[in-house]
Homo-oligomer: A and B are copies of this chain.
Amino acid sequence: MMKEISGGVCAAQGFKAAGVHCGIQADGSSEKNDLALILSEKECAAAAVYTLNRVKAAPIYVTMDHLEDGTAWGVVANSGNANACCPMSHENAEAMCLFAAQATGREAGDFAVASSGIIGQTINIQAVQTGVPKAAAALSQSGSGNAATAIMTTDTVPKEIAVSFRLDGKEVKIGAIAKGSGMIHPNMGTLLAFLTTDCAITPGMLEEAIREVSAKTFNRVTIDGETSPGDMAIVLANGMAGNEQIEWKDESYEAFCQALDYVCRHLSRAIAGDGEGAGRLVTCRVIGARSEESAERLAKTVVSSSLVKAAMFGADANWGRVLVAMGYSKAPFRPEHVDMAFESAAGSVPVCKQGDGLAFDEELAKKVLSEKEVVIAVNLNEGDDEAECWGCDLTYDYVRINGDYRT
């Protein structure tokens, strides 16, 4: 039985974290935490998934390099600067790992590094150099909350979760922190997620697991269709739970993936619901598809559509926009087979049957779509596959946040 527990990224045995303020923002205007450190007391199997953007921030390349051997001890991360598209970016990303190593008695190659914030400006590496020893001194098992706030940019709430489940009679835990709410203040690493577990699992299996689970969770979130140069999700597994090491795609692997999926799904929904300026979490669930791939493509296109997002902002049951977005998704489906309904805690309103509009109660529809979480439920009536994707509404605040951040 899996259950949610407290402790965030420090919930699993042997992990400590810290978040401190070191003043990365050039103008020193903010006292917010901006530097996070996560450390395991044992070596971890380590795996990560990275942005597919051709423009990659330097920390992506440095982390890829440091994780090549499948192991790591910790993560150092900052907000306020993306360390991308600027002179010295590679050197500074390496320096961050070196500072972390010096402050913890390890080596630079033992650390993953991540940065999120302004693109195109050289990071204030002196601030980082001063901050890392402070963070190392502050490492504790109750540090998850501070680490979570240290990686926030325009996020309005920190994102943390942990779960516990059993493998071979042992209690195994997975914990995580994440950030993300658009391309932000100014050009952000949209999504950073740091996951820790005491599960014993090989680097190869860990990489399989994070790839498989990310594809169905993080990769199904969209705030504004933008991918950033700094996106990454990293998982560290130190094996301290004492389960038999997972080496194959067996039942234990499936159980681990299920718990990892729960964690990543929670973070994904939290990120979508906290999208820049977002008023509500919008889920598009497509069922009755001929393949999961086409269901995913349809659902993702719907939650990415500016017109659907604007309609969700207005709590407007504009199902035609949903059908039209599906139409340009390039996924195969027959419009004349499509059933559609809008759903939320306030009820369910069928709006379209076999491609034609239904008469519906506009007042009820308004009520349903005015909830904080709404579902666009689509049935293609063509097969048994399904997928859901998460996004948010398009609001005046999105335009405000992104229209004039620098001046």
Residues of chain B within 8 A (CB-CB) of A145 are none
A85's partner among B224, B311, B356 (CB-CB below 8 A) is B356
Question: What CA separation (Å) do A231 and B193 show in the bound complex?
Answer: 41
Chain A, range 320-362, C-beta contacts under 8 Å to B: 320-321, 323-329, 332-333, 335, 352, 355-357, 362
A226's partner among B228, B324, B401 (CB-CB below 8 A) is B324
Each complex incorporates copies of this chain amounting to: 2
A316/B396 in contact, CB under 8 A:
no
Chain B min CB distance to A333 (Å): 7
Question: What CA separation (Å) do A30 and B404 show in the bound complex?
Answer: 37
A324's partner among B228, B314, B316 (CB-CB below 8 A) is B228
At the interface, yes or no: A229 with Cβ under 8 Å from chain B?
Answer: yes
Kindly name the residue among A121, A305, A323, A326 whose own CB sees the greatest number of chain B CB atoms within 10 A: A323
With A55-B327, A87-B356 in contact, do A311 and B226 touch (Cβ < 8 Å)?
no
Kindly name the residue among A82, A121, A325 whose own CB sees the greatest number of chain B CB atoms within 10 A: A325
With A85-B355, A228-B324, A328-B53 in contact, do A399 and B120 touch (Cβ < 8 Å)?
no
Chain B min CB distance to A119 (Å): 3
A403/B306 in contact, CB under 8 A:
no
A404/B320 in contact, CB under 8 A:
no
Chain B min CB distance to A171 (Å): 41
Residues of chain B within 8 A (CB-CB) of A314 are 402-405, 407
A403's partner among B311, B327, B362, B403 (CB-CB below 8 A) is B311
With A55-B324, A327-B53 in contact, do A403 and B310 touch (Cβ < 8 Å)?
yes
B328/A54 in contact, CB under 8 A:
yes
**Which residue in chain B gives the minimum CB-CB distance to A312?**
B403
Residues of chain B within 8 A (CB-CB) of A291 are none
At the interface, yes or no: A95 with Cβ under 8 Å from chain B?
Answer: no
B55/A229 in contact, CB under 8 A:
no
Question: What CA separation (Å) do A404 and B307 show in the bound complex?
Answer: 11
A305/B356 in contact, CB under 8 A:
no
**Which residue in chain B gives the minimum CB-CB distance to A54?**
B327
At the interface, yes or no: A395 with Cβ under 8 Å from chain B?
Answer: yes
At the interface, yes or no: A252 with Cβ under 8 Å from chain B?
Answer: no
At the interface, yes or no: A394 with Cβ under 8 Å from chain B?
Answer: yes
B402/A328 in contact, CB under 8 A:
no
At the interface, yes or no: A366 with Cβ under 8 Å from chain B?
Answer: yes
A399's partner among B82, B121, B352, B396 (CB-CB below 8 A) is B396
B320/A120 in contact, CB under 8 A:
yes
Question: What CA separation (Å) do A187 and B305 show in the bound complex?
Answer: 13
At the interface, yes or no: A52 with Cβ under 8 Å from chain B?
Answer: yes
B324/A53 in contact, CB under 8 A:
yes
Question: What CA separation (Å) do A401 and B52 show in the bound complex?
Answer: 33
Question: What CA separation (Å) do A396 and B305 show in the bound complex?
Answer: 17
Chain A, range 100-154, C-beta contacts under 8 Å to B: 118-121
A335/B55 in contact, CB under 8 A:
yes
23 contacts between A and B (CB under 8 A): A53-B324, A54-B335, A82-B320, A84-B320, A85-B352, A85-B357, A119-B321, A120-B352, A186-B318, A224-B306, A225-B306, A227-B328, A229-B324, A306-B398, A306-B402, A310-B403, A316-B404, A362-B407, A366-B407, A394-B399, A395-B403, A396-B399, A398-B399
Residues on A lying within 8 angstroms of B by beta carbon are: 52-56, 82, 84-87, 118-121, 182-183, 186-187, 224-229, 305-307, 310-311, 313-314, 316, 318-321, 323-329, 332-333, 335, 352, 355-357, 362, 366, 394-396, 398-407
